[in-house]
Amino acid sequence: MSIKKTVVITGAAGLIGTSFCNAVASNGYNLVIADNNEERSELLAAEIRSHGHEAHACIFDATRADDIQRLLNASLERFGNIYALVNNLYIRSGNYGADFFDVTYEDFSKNLSDNVTPYFELSKRFARHFCDSKTGVIVNIASVYGAIAPRFDIYANTNMTMPVEYSAIKSAILHLTRYMAKRLKGYNIRVNAISPGGILDGQPEAFLNAYNDNCLSKGMLSPEDLCGTLLFLLSDQSRYINGQNIIVDDGFTL
């Protein structure tokens, strides 16, 4: 009998993470829900288990290296193996969404260290484990705005913008993906990224209309629309895809 593979998803209790968790657990993986929101994580784990799947909530703070190590140890203890890490979390500071000229040195620095450093530290510690077990998959969730300059016009007449630090964070994550894929040569470890376009979450109609005009069919996507790509990157079907970024955006970036 083959061992059930374990997938650790960070930011798992959020909008996209919840869909990822349902998809991963219902496709036969052991699931670790790694998030700092205890209530939502435990609820999600209980719901997934009620459908007969394996799910364990591990509450951790991604800005603490000791918590990252505790997550790794707890996942191994609970399921006996770790096959994949999905870096999905995003830490939103109080000043998220400020206009370019209003972003301070301190805000910019804090946002970068809060969001790039955990992806690095999680990947480094899990990759060390994958090197020992000679197998592993890392999937980084980036964004279309790591790949292209913002379409500022779609934010006109709304109180939204595309923050400069978000673009910097997501492009850093895309390049970290390439760096790690190459650095881990020889260990049977794959590191890839998914760059989603905008995800439906109660945005104002004016914004949705402007956004959807740039797309080819549906427009802004639902979290479930990303799950097929994640399952593909976790599976052997993507065995020779490494260091790549798959954009899932209904053509928004074309």
Ligand X SMILES: NC(=O)c1ccc[n+]([C@@H]2O[C@H](COP(=O)([O-])OP(=O)(O)OC[C@H]3O[C@@H](n4cnc5c(N)ncnc54)[C@H](O)[C@@H]3O)[C@@H](O)[C@H]2O)c1
Catalytic residue annotation: 166
Give the nearer residue to ligand X in terms of CB position, either 127 or 174.
Answer: 174
Under rule CB under 6 A, residue 31 binds ligand X: no
Under rule CB under 6 A, residue 15 binds ligand X: yes
For residue 229, the one-letter residue type is T
In the chain, where do the E strands start and end? Answer: 6-10, 30-35, 55-59, 84-87, 136-141, 189-196, 245-248
Give the nearer residue to ligand X in terms of CB position, either 151 or 187.
Answer: 151
Give the nearer residue to ligand X in terms of CB position, either 131 or 200.
Answer: 200
How far apart are the C-alpha atoms of 45 and 228, rounded to whole Å?
Answer: 21
Give the nearer residue to ligand X in terms of CB position, either 131 or 147.
Answer: 147
Q: Please, which of residues 34-93 interact with ligand X by CB under 6 A?
A: 35-37, 60-63, 88-91
Of 142, 144, 162, 140, which is closest to residue 153 (Cα–Cα)?
Answer: 162
Query: Could you tell me if 241 and 184 are in contact, meaning their C-beta atoms sit under 8 angstroms apart?
Result: no
Given 189, 198, 233, 250, the residue binding ligand X (CB under 6 A): 198
How far apart are the C-alpha atoms of 28 and 23, rounded to whole Å?
Answer: 9
Under rule CB under 6 A, residue 11 binds ligand X: yes
Q: What DSSP string describes 192-234?
A: EEEEE--B-SS--HHHHHHHHTTSSSS-SBPGGGGHHHHHHHH
Of 158, 165, 150, which is closest to residue 198 (Cα–Cα)?
Answer: 150
Given 8, 17, 176, 227, the residue binding ligand X (CB under 6 A): 17
Under rule CB under 6 A, residue 192 binds ligand X: no
Given 8, 13, 172, 189, the residue binding ligand X (CB under 6 A): 13
Under rule CB under 6 A, residue 164 binds ligand X: no
Site residues (CB under 6 A) for ligand X? 11, 13-17, 35-37, 60-63, 88-91, 141, 143, 196, 198-199, 201
